[in-house]
Amino acid sequence: MHVIELHNVWKTYPLGKTRVHALRGLSLEVKQGEFLAIQGPSGSGKSTAMNIIGCLDTPTKGTVLLQGKNVHSFTESGLAQVRGRTIGFVFQKFNLIDTLTALENVMLPMVFQGVVEQERVSRATELLSVLGLSDRMEHKPSQLSGGQQQRVAIARSLVMNPPMLLCDEPTGNLDSKTGAEVMHLLHELNDEGRTIVLVTHEDSLARTADRIVRIRDGRQSNGDK
Amino acid sequence: MRELAKIGLWNIVRRKKRALLTVLGIFIGIAAVVALVSIGQGLQQSVQDQFSKVGGDKILVQAKEFGVGGVAAAGKLGVRELDVIQHVIGVGEAAGGLALSGKTRFNDVQRTVFVAMLPVKSSEANLLTTFTTWEADKGRLLRSGERGKVVIGATLSSGNVFLKDISLRNTIVVNDVGFDVVGILTRTGDPTTDSSVILSEPDARAVLNSSDVYSYIVAQAVGDPDVVSHRVERALRRDRHQKEGNEDFSVQTSTELIASFNTVLNIIQVIFVGIAAISLLVGGVGIMNTMFTAVLERTREIGVMKAIGATNSSILFVFMLESGILGLLGGVAGVLVGAGIGMLVEQVVNYAYGAGTIHAVFPVWLVIGAVLFAGVIGILSGLLPALRASRLSPVEALREE
């Protein structure tokens, strides 16, 4: 079973009196354990594809199967719950909650899943230590460097032990050295068996993946690497 | 849920100035309510205390036109009326009282004060003493028929009126006749009594040059006061050949008296609390406005939380908690300051009119109720913004810069 499958997915947005087709029949699947890059220039429909793959949005037409289940069969809250368990998000702008400490940020997904406090603390502490942030746990995001913030975000994405990480330009706001470190970390996680989906416009980053899906004008432009 | 609660709390701390301004409306409203109700309750309680001293079996008869002191009115009460009332079945005892103005001089200062009198007959004197709640704070009360002596009200004894304290054994002049002070009354809270001089009936009649009029007549009912009060009314009507509804006198039981006083007090309280409620409403709108702003500012944060698994109800909880806390903060501050204002008013009034005039009371229901009410206003005001936040689509929210 694939982690996620898109079958002939269309996404249409109304724009004034006309309609914009962000996706025009996109089909792809994410296989268990692979490192998949979704590459496309801005305006290609890449972000829309990411939203659909991340189950943040539902298609106008077509089917999305999350671990074999149609996402349309979930309620909004039900989907949020499943999303929280199945997909770990890593964003370009880190998107940490700036009022919470690093530790609390990592604990937050577990709050939404109803994990008891004791376990929340131990799991978050362990992950942050593994990622080399044991001395930064009580720091607020504003007190952390970009690379540190992204590592906290990665810890947050891993804390529910989801089968898939969805990374949207994870190095976009980092200098090249730190960016390389983050990419290295993602590959390590992939080596440990985690499925990684990397959404990027940079060809050089995409080339490090096992497989590249190139998106142009809302559909896949070529096959596997 | 602690992390969620912390998100809400932290946002208040982070925007201290805004939070402060936001809760101002609630704060003012609650402070006003607490101050007013505490004083209103204090007044009501002192009226209740007074009532229990007077007793529920008293019936008060007054001339209608001028109320107390209306001896010149058409419906004046005199010895004849007292006699009629004394013979009504169910009336145990009846006594006439005076509250007329007289010129009083002490320390070369002349003031117009109320002149009251104590009847000669001791049973009548006792009834009137109970009804007026005269009690000697210093010295003693008059003995029935005692001449040349005076008992004065608490306000007169303090230096405020005659620019010098009046003590026992001082002499004061009432309408050019000198009297020795033998007693000073305990403060009653009733301004008429507190600025009265009490003479024995013959002395009072002499200085006031009034032979047989009364300002009011008090009767003590044996049995149901309402029934007796109707009988008194009927007897006076027959004696005066008046039709029902056209009487020139009024008859009230002490229960009716306190009820009408409480009604007035309640109306005043309701009006003022109503005005304070406007402030609460404005305060609620202020909280709503702040929360809408917060939702706009934190749209991206909401998107992130939804992406990592927050359900709509989790988001709703964060924002409702935040607005609820804003309300509670306003409530707590309002109760504290309102209590302060209540006590300050108590101090000022008691300084101006003598100790024990009013007493601000803070019942537990007022304190807890005011805080909870403020919290509820906060939660209700936060409802719409929180709903908007919870219904944001994660995609739209994450796109926000």
Contact residues, chain B, for A157 at CB < 8 Å: 308
* Model pLDDT for residues B73-91, shown as the tens digit of each residue: 456 888 889 999 999 999 9
> Could you say which of B204, B227, B258 is where a domain stops?
B258
Q: What is the ipTM of this complex?
A: 0.91
CB contacts < 8 Å between A and B, how many? 73
Q: Is B308 on the interface with A (CB under 8 A)?
A: yes
Going along B73-229, which residue ranges are E strands? Answer: 77-78, 91-97, 100-106, 109-118, 136-139, 149-152, 171-174, 177-185, 196-200, 213-214, 216-221
Q: Look at residue B74 in the predicted model and tell me its pLDDT.
A: 56
Q: Do B122 and B61 belong together in one domain? A: yes
Which residue in the set B307, B311, B394 is minimally distant from A81, CB to CB?
A: B311
| A5-27: average pLDDT | 90
Which of B208, B224, B258 is a domain's end point?
Answer: B258
Determine, for residues A112 and B10 on separate chains, whether the beta-carbon distance falls below 8 Å.
no
How many structural domains are present in chain B?
2
Element (H, E) at B59: strand B58-63
Q: How high is the pLDDT of residue A165?
A: 95
Inter-chain residue contact A76 with B398, CB threshold 8 Å: no
Q: What pLDDT sits at residue B43?
A: 85
List all residues 6 or more positions away from B44 whose beta carbon is below 8 Å from its beta carbon.
Answer: B262, B265
Last residue of a domain, one of B212, B228, B258: B258
Looking at the structure, do residues B45 and B77 belong to the same domain, yes or no?
no
Residues B251 and B277 in one domain: no
* Other beta carbons less than 10 A from residue A176's beta carbon: 8
B19 and B68 together in one domain: no
Q: What does the pLDDT look like over B30-39, one tens digit per residue?
A: 999 999 989 8
SS3 A62: strand
Are residues B252 and B357 both part of a single domain?
no
Query: What Rg, from alpha-carbon coordinates, does chain B have?
Result: 31
Do residues A56 and A6 make contact, with C-beta atoms less than 8 angstroms apart?
no
> What pLDDT shows up at residue B75?
65
pLDDT confidence of residue B65: 61
| Tens of pLDDT, residues B16-71 | 888 899 999 899 999 999 999 898 888 888 888 878 888 889 999 988 764 444 44
- Looking at the structure, tell me whether residues B121 and B132 fall in a common domain: yes
The tokens for A39 are 């590459």
Chain A touched by B390 (CB under 8 Å):
no
User: Does residue B309 share a domain with residue B281?
Assistant: yes
| Residue B323 and residue B287 in contact, taking contact as beta carbons nearer than 8 Å | yes
Do B229 and B289 lie in a common domain?
A: no
Write out the residue range of the structural domain in which residue B226 sits. 56-258
What pLDDT, in 10s, does the model give residues A84-142? 999 999 999 999 998 889 999 999 999 889 899 899 999 999 999 999 999 999 999 99
Give the nearest partner residue to B309 out of A76, A83, A100, using CB atoms. A83
The confidence score (pLDDT) of residue B1 equals 66
pTM across the whole model: 0.74
- Do B101 and B182 sit in the same domain of this protein? yes
Residue A108 to residue B14, Cβ atoms within 8 A: no
Sites in chain B below the pLDDT cut of 70: 1, 65-75, 354-355, 401
Same domain, B289 and B166: no
Rounded to an integer, what distance in angstroms lies between the CA atom of residue B307 and that of residue B303? 6
Summarised one tens digit per residue, pLDDT across range A165-202 is 999 999 999 999 999 999 999 999 999 999 999 999 99
Do B159 and B201 fall into the same domain?
yes
Domain check: are B88 and B118 in the same one? Answer: yes
- B306 vs A: CB within 8 A: yes
Q: Is A81 on the interface with B (CB under 8 A)?
A: yes
Condensed to tens digits (0 to 9), the pLDDT of residues A34-68 reads 999 999 998 888 989 999 999 999 899 999 999 88
Q: Which of A51, A52, A37 is nearest to A6 (CA)?
A: A52
Which among B310, B311, B395 has CB closest to A56?
B395
CB atoms under 10 Å from CB of B139, counted, come to: 16
